[in-house]
C-alpha cells in the first residue's frame, strides 16, 4: 500500500475512492487548461474580433419572396366519370410537385433570363472587397452573344475622360462560351490582353470576345469592374439559388424565395419568372385552339372550292333553263333531303375527325389533338379523354425540360399518358363503328327520297340536284366558319389557371450575416481552438507530465516528488535549507523510516532510465539531508562513465572507486571530505576502459560491506539502468532502490523499463521519484505538492519554509477549498 494513501473504512464499498479519483481527475483536467488561460482568453478575444470584422465587411444577404396560387380547373361531367373509373391521376392537372418542378426547371429559368439583362455583372471597389452593383450602373456593356465570348473573368475599366477609358484584365480566369455549343465551355489557360484605351461606344473586338461600352453616369478616374456570364451558366445558378415550397402541406400556394445580396435584382428576376411561368401555361392552352383553327382552315380550303363549283353550276343551269324555283312538291322533297344530307355531312365530318384521331393515337402524335366538341362530337367521355390526354402531354413536355426520363415524376406521367391513350383508343374505335352505322342508315333514307325525286320532271329533278350539292357545301362551310369563330373566341378568352398571389418583395433587414450568432460562434471557436490544440498537444505528448498518470503506469509506489530547483546551487539542502525543494527531501527522508524500519545502517540506490533525469541531483541532496540529521553519510559515485559529483562539490576527480577496483589502493584512501559535516564522498575516479567489469568484481562487494560497517547511511549514485547493464547487479547491495523520473523530460515509455525490473528482474524495495515537478496539472500537484506524497502540505505554509508565490487564480481556488 502506498504511503499516506487514504484508507477505506472496513465494510464500506470502494465507491468512495472511485468517486474521489474521478473528482481529482476532473480537477486535473480543469487545471491543465487553466494554466493556459492567457492563451485561451487571447483566442476568445481574437474570435470575437474576427466575428465582428466578418459582420462588418460581409456582404448582406436579403431574402426575396413571392407567391403563386395553383388552382384546379372545374372538371366536366365526363372527366368526373373518367376519374371515378380510376383512369386519371390522383391529382389531375394541378399536381403541386409537378408545378414545383416546372418553376425550378432550367428551361423556365433560361426563358426568363432571355427577357432580362443580367448577363453582365458590374462591381465597384470597396474598402475590403469589390461589391456588385445593379440597376443604376455608371456604364453599360453591350455584348455580341452571337459569337464566341470569354466569360467568367473580371475586366477592369478606368474612365479617363468623357470620351475614353482604359480596359484591362483584373482576374484572368476565363472560359470560352460558344453559342453553337452553349452547354459546354472550354477553359482558357490565360487570356493575353494588354491594357488598352478605347472610346465609349466603339466595339472592343478580339478573337475571344466582342462588346462595346456605353457611358451612363461614370466620372473621370472612376474604376468599374465587370464580368460576362453566359445565359446557360446563369440559368443553372438561378435554378440552384431558387427555392420553391408550398406554404403548408394542405395548401396549393407556392412560395418562391431567392437569397441575394441585390434586392432589386432578385425582385426583377422573380417577377419575370412568374410572368414567364404563367405565359408558358397560357401558350399551352392556346396551342389547342391554334391546332383547331389550323384544322378548320384546312377543311375550309377544300369546302370553299366545292362551294364555288356547285354555286357556278347552279347558276349556269338556272340561266340556261330559265328555271329558278322548285315546285311545291319538289320543295317538300328537297327540304326532307336537305335535313338528311346535313345530318350526314356532320356525321362524315365527325367520322373524319375520329379517323384522324385514331391515326394520331396509332402514331403517337398526341401533341396536336383537337377537342372533339369543336367538330360536333358531344360524347362527354370522349371529350374528357382527349382533354386529359392533351393536358398530360403538355405536363410531360414541361417536366422533361427539367427532369430525366428515369425520375419518378416523369415515369408517373408516362404511365398516366399510356393508360389514358389506351382508353381513348378503345373509345374512338367504338365511336367510329357507331358513326359508320349511322351514316349507312342515313344513306338508306336518302335513297328512298331519291326514288321520289326520279318521279319529278327532268328539268326540276336536275335543278334539285344542283341545289342539293350547293346547299350541302354551303351548310358545311357555314358550320366550319362558326367553329372557327368559336375557337378564336376560346383562344382570346384563355387565361392561366394559376395566378400570381404576391409579387416579389424583399425584407428590410438582411438574413445574413447573423450578427449575434456569428459573435457567439466566434467566441466558441475562440475557446475551442486553443483547448483543442492543448488537448491534441497533450495527447501527442510522449513526455511524463502528470504525477497521477505516472502513478498509474508504474507498478511500484510513487514515493515522492521533487520540485524544480530554481536556485543556482546544485545542493539546495545544504545551501538553501528553507527552500521548498529542501523540504521535499526532508519529507522523503521521513518516509524512509517507514520503508526500512529498525535499521541502523541504510544503503540507498538511485538510478534512472537515461541521463539527464536528475538521479545525481537527488542522490546528492538525499545524502545531504541525512548528514544534516547527524547521520554519518557516504555518497558514492558509481557512474564510472559520466561522473558529475566532483564538480558539484568542487572536488578533483583524480582518485575514486575506479582507482580502488583497478589497483590495490584501499577505499579509505579515496574517501574525500565534502566540506560539510557528516558527509563524505567517494568519487567515481578516472574513467576506466571497462567500467562494467570493475563493478562486477568480488572485490567491490567486499568494499561495500566494509563501508556499511563504517557509515550510517550509504548512497549509491548509479548509472542509468536503461543505458548500461552494471546497475542491475548493484540492486542486491542496497536496502532501498529509487527510480528517478523527470517531469517534462522522461519518456512515458521509460516506465516499462522500471516495470520490467520489478516483474522480470526480481528487484525488491523499488520506489519511484518524480523530479523537477514544475507543471501544475491540478489542485494538490505542482511545485509544493512533493513533500513525500501527502495531501496536506502546500507551498504557502507560513513559517516552515520559503514561500512560492502562486498565481492569483490558484490562491483563490485554494481559499475556496
Condensed to tens digits (0 to 9), the pLDDT of residues 616-674 reads 999 999 999 999 999 999 999 998 888 889 888 989 988 999 899 888 889 999 999 99
- Do β-strands 164-171 and 139-143 pair in parallel, antiparallel, or remain unpaired? unpaired
The percent of residues in the chain predicted with pLDDT above 90, rounded, is 39
Confidence of residue 215 (pLDDT cuts 50, 70, 90): very high
The answer to whether the beta carbons of residues 175 and 185 sit under 8 Å apart is yes
Confidence of residue 194 (pLDDT cuts 50, 70, 90): very high
Burial class of 464 by CB neighbour count within 10 A (0 to 12, 13 to 18, 19+): buried
Quote the pLDDT of residue 19.
42
Which residues make Cβ contacts (< 8 Å) with residue 499, sequence separation at least 6? 68, 69, 71, 278
Residue 89 has pLDDT above 50, yes or no: no
Burial class of 645 by CB neighbour count within 10 A (0 to 12, 13 to 18, 19+): buried
For residue 608, how many other CB atoms are within 10 A of its CB? 30
Give 311 or 200, the one with higher predicted confidence: 200
User: Which of these ranges, 294-298, 489-493, 643-647, 780-784, has the smallest mean pLDDT?
Assistant: 780-784
Quote the pLDDT of residue 82.
41
Quote the pLDDT of residue 114.
95
Give the pLDDT mean for 217-244: 95
Quote the pLDDT of residue 808.
55
Quote the pLDDT of residue 777.
58
User: What is the tens place of the pLDDT at every residue in 782-801?
Assistant: 433 333 333 333 333 333 44
* Cα angle: 418, vertex 420, 426; to 5 degrees: 105
Quote the pLDDT of residue 354.
82
Confidence of residue 489 (pLDDT cuts 50, 70, 90): confident
Give 3 or 251, the one with higher predicted confidence: 251
Helices (H), 364-407: 380-400
Give the pLDDT mean for 263-286: 91
- What is the full DSSP assignment across 564-625? ---SS-S-HHHH-TTSHHHHHHHHHHHHHHHHS-S-SSEEEEEEESSTTSSHHHHHHHHHHH
User: What is the tens place of the pLDDT at every residue in 526-555?
Assistant: 999 999 998 898 888 889 988 888 999 999
Quote the pLDDT of residue 428.
85
Q: Is the peptide bond before 513 cis (omega within 30 degrees of 0)?
A: yes
Give 501 or 340, the one with higher predicted confidence: 501
Spell out the SS3 assignment of 486-499. HHHHHHHHCCCCCE
User: What is the tens place of the pLDDT at every residue in 420-462?
Assistant: 888 888 888 888 888 888 888 888 887 777 666 665 665 566 6
- Do β-strands 223-228 and 120-124 pair in parallel, antiparallel, or remain unpaired? antiparallel
Quote the pLDDT of residue 20.
43
| DSSP state letter for 318 | H
Distance CA 385, CA 371 (A): 10
Q: How far apart are the first and last CA of the chain?
A: 27
Give 522 or 722, the one with higher predicted confidence: 522
Give 70 or 13, the one with higher predicted confidence: 70
Give the pLDDT mean for 342-360: 79
Distance CA 92, CA 79 (A): 10
Quote the pLDDT of residue 368.
54
Quote the pLDDT of residue 788.
37
Quote the pLDDT of residue 474.
77
The answer to whether the beta carbons of residues 783 and 773 sit under 8 Å apart is yes
**What is the average pLDDT score of the chain?**
81
Quote the pLDDT of residue 435.
85
Distance CA 583, CA 802 (A): 10
Distance CA 225, CA 125 (A): 8
Give the pLDDT mean for 568-575: 86
Domain boundaries, the chain: 15-58+513-540, 65-84+117-270, 277-503, 547-816
Residue listed under C-alpha cell 372557327: 484
Give the pLDDT mean for 803-811: 51
Give the pLDDT mean for 461-480: 74
Give the pLDDT mean for 748-761: 89
- What is the full DSSP assignment across 245-311? EESSTT--EEEEEEEES-HHHHHHHHHHHHHHHHHHHHHHHHHHHHHHHHHHHHHHHHHHHHHHHHH
Range among 126-140, 294-308, 373-387 with highest mean pLDDT value = 126-140
Q: Which of 681, 683, 710 shows the shortest CA–CA distance to 601?
A: 710
Residue 265 has pLDDT above 90, yes or no: yes
Predicted model pTM: 0.61
- What is the full DSSP assignment across 439-489? HHHHHHHHHHHHHHHTTS-HHHHHHHHHHHHHHHHHHHHHHHHHHHHHHHH
Q: Which of 136, 147, 131, 162 shows the shortest CA–CA distance to 59?
A: 131
Give the pLDDT mean for 40-68: 94
Count of alpha carbons within 13 angstroms of residue 683, beta-carbon side: 24
CATH number (3.40.50.300, 1.20.1300.10, 3.40.50.720, 3.40.50.150) of 547-816 reads 3.40.50.300
Quote the pLDDT of residue 47.
94
| DSSP state letter for 772 | E
Confidence of residue 330 (pLDDT cuts 50, 70, 90): low
The percent of residues in the chain predicted with pLDDT above 70, rounded, is 81
**Phi-psi category of residue 409: left, alpha or beta, with phi > 0 → left and psi -120 to 50 → alpha:** alpha
* Residues written for the chain: 817
Quote the pLDDT of residue 116.
95
Amino acid at each position: 500500500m502506498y504511503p499516506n494513501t487514504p484508507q477505506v473504512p472496513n465494510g464500506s464499498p470502494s465507491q468512495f475512492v472511485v468517486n474521489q479519483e474521478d473528482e481529482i481527475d476532473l480537477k486535473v483536467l480543469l487545471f491543465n487548461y487553466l494554466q493556459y488561460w492567457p492563451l485561451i482568453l487571447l483566442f476568445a478575444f481574437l474570435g470575437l474580433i474576427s466575428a465582428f470584422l466578418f459582420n462588418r465587411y460581409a456582404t448582406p444577404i436579403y431574402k426575396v419572396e413571392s407567391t403563386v396560387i395553383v388552382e384546379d380547373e372545374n372538371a366536366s361531367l365526363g372527366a368526373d366519370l373518367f376519374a371515378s373509373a380510376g383512369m386519371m391521376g390522383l391529382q389531375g392537372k394541378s399536381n403541386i410537385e409537378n408545378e414545383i418542378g416546372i418553376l425550378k426547371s432550367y428551361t423556365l429559368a433560361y426563358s426568363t433570363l432571355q427577357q432580362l439583362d443580367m448577363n453582365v455583372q458590374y462591381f465597384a471597389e470597396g474598402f475590403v472587397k469589390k461589391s456588385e452593383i445593379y440597376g443604376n450602373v455608371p456604364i453599360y456593356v453591350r455584348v455580341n452573344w452571337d459569337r464566341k465570348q470569354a466569360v467568367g473573368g473580371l475586366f477592369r475599366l478606368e474612365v479617363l475622360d468623357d470620351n475614353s477609358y482604359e480596359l484591362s484584365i483584373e482576374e484572368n480566369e476565363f472560359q470560352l462560351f460558344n453559342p453553337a455549343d452553349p452547354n459546354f465551355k472550354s477553359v482558357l489557360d490565360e487570356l493575353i490582353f494588354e491594357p488598352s484605351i478605347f472610346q465609349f461606344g466603339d466595339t472592343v473586338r478580339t478573337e475571344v470576345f466582342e462588346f462595346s461600352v456605353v457611358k451612363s453616369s461614370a466620372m473621370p478616374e472612376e474604376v468599374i469592374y465587370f464580368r460576362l456570364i453566359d445565359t446557360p451558366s446563369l440559368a443553372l445558378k438561378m435554378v440552384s439559388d431558387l427555392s420553391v415550397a408550398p406554404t403548408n402541406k394542405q395548401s396549393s400556394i407556392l412560395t418562391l424565395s431567392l437569397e441575394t445580396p441585390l434586392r432589386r435584382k432578385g425582385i426583377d428576376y422573380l417577377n419575370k419568372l412568374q410572368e414567364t411561368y404563367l405565359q408558358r401555361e397560357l401558350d399551352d392552352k392556346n396551342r389547342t385552339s391554334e391546332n383547331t383553327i389550323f384544322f378548320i382552315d384546312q377543311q375550309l380550303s377544300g369546302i370553299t372550292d366545292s362551294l364555288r363549283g356547285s354555286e357556278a353550276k347552279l347558276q349556269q343551269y338556272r340561266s340556261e333553263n330559265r328555271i329558278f324555283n322548285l315546285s311545291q312538291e319538289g320543295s317538300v322533297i328537297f327540304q326532307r333531303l336537305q335535313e338528311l344530307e346535313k345530318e350526314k355531312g356532320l356525321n362524315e365530318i365527325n367520322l373524319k375527325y375520329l379517323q384522324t384521331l385514331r391515326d394520331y393515337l396509332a402514331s403517337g402524335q398526341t401533341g396536336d389533338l383537337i377537342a372533339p366538341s369543336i367538330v360536333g362530337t358531344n360524347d362527354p367521355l370522349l371529350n374528357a379523354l382527349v382533354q386529359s390526354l392533351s393536358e398530360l402531354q403538355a405536363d410531360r413536355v414541361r417536366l422533361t425540360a427539367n427532369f430525366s426520363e428515369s425520375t419518378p415524376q416523369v415515369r408517373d406521367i408516362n404511365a398516366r399518358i399510356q393508360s389514358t391513350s389506351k382508353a381513348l383508343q378503345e373509345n374512338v374505335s367504338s365511336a367510329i363503328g357507331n358513326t359508320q352505322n349511322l351514316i349507312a342508315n342515313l344513306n338508306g333514307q336518302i335513297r328512298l327520297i331519291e326514288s321520289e325525286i326520279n318521279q319529278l320532271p327532268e328539268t326540276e329533278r336536275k335543278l334539285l340536284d344542283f341545289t342539293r350539292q350547293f346547299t350541302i357545301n354551303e351548310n358545311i362551310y357555314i358550320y366550319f366558319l362558326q367553329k372557327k369563330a368559336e375557337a378564336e373566341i376560346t383562344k382570346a378568352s384563355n387565361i392561366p389557371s394559376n395566378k400570381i398571389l404576391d409579387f416579389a418583395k424583399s425584407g428590410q433587414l438582411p438574413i445574413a450575416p447573423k450578427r449575434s450568432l456569428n459573435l457567439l460562434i466566434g467566441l466558441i471557436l475562440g475557446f475551442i481552438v486553443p483547448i483543442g490544440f492543448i488537448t491534441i498537444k497533450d495527447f501527442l505528448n510522449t513526455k511524463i507530465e502528470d504525477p497521477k498518470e505516472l502513478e498509474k503506469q508504474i507498478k511500484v509506489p510513487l514515493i515522492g516528488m521533487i520540485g524544480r530547483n530554481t536556485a543556482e546551487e546544485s545542493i539546495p539542502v545544504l545551501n538553501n535549507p528553507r527552500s521548498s525543494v529542501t523540504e521535499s527531501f526532508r519529507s522523503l527522508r521521513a518516509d524512509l523510516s517507514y520503508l526500512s524500519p529498525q535499521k541502523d545502517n541504510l544503503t540507498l540506490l538511485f538510478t534512472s532510465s537515461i541521463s539527464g533525469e536528475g538521479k545525481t541531483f537527488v542522490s546528492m541532496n538525499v545524502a545531504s539531508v541525512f548528514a544534516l540529521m547527524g547521520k554519518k553519510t557516504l555518497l558514492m559515485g558509481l557512474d564510472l562513465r559520466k561522473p558529475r559529483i566532483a564538480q558539484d562539490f568542487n572536488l578533483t576527480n583524480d582518485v575514486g572507486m575506479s582507482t580502488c577496483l583497478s589497483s590495490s589502493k584501499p577505499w579509505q584512501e579515496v574517501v574525500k571530505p565534502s566540506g560539510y559535516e557528516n558527509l563524505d564522498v567517494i568519487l567515481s575516479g578516472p574513467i576506466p576502459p571497462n567500467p562494467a567489469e570493475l563493478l562486477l568484481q568480488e572485490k567491490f562487494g567486499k568494499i561495500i560491506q566494509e563501508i556499511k560497517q563504517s557509515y550510517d547511511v550509504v548512497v549509491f549514485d548509479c548509472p542509468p539502468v536503461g543505458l548500461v547493464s552494471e546497475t542491475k547487479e548493484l540492486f542486491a547491495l542496497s536496502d532501498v532502490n529509487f527510480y528517478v523520473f523527470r517531469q517534462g523530460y522522461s519518456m512515458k515509455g521509460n516506465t516499462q523499463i522500471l516495470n520490467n525490473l520489478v516483474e522480470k528482474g526480481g528487484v525488491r524495495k523499488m520506489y519511484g521519484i518524480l523530479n523537477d515537478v514544475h507543471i501544475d496539472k491540478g489542485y494538490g500537484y505542482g511545485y509544493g505538492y512533493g513533500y513525500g506524497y501527502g495531501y496536506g502540505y502546500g507551498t504557502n505554509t507560513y513559517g516552515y519554509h520559503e514561500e512560492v508565490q502562486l498565481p492569483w487564480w490558484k490562491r483563490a481556488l485554494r481559499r475556496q477549498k
